[in-house]
Structure 1
Amino acid sequence: MFSEKFKEAVRKAVGSEKLIVGVVHWKARDRLIDEVKKREDAEIIEVTDKNRNELHQNIVDRIGFQ
């Protein structure tokens, strides 16, 4: 995550009223990632071997997409 333009776009997106679905590798370390993860309105869902096949449908159901 070296691009300042990308970081600013992420900050703008998560600061908006829109729902943002993002994926971050669990080993990723960056101040921006930490900022987003610490947000009160952020929800972190771990993808595991056990849940990965059904997780996409669970997320779609939760956010109300058809």
Structure 2
Amino acid sequence: MFEDELVEARISYTEACNHHAQMADLHRDGAISDEELMEAIENMRQAKEDLEEVRSNYC
């Protein structure tokens, strides 16, 4: 149970980090807006908070 939640949270965080990196590259190239980049950052922050919550609930 805990392991599944932890794995899911880690995957979500990793995907959010990868998405943020891609969006940052696009933003540097002028392909996306500041708002789109901020959304990616917020998604990454939320995924990190979710991961930390799972860890704190079981550790």
TM-score, L = length of structure 1 = 0.27
* Larger relative contact order (Cα-Cα within 8 Å, sequence gap ≥ 6): 2
Larger helix proportion of the pair: 2
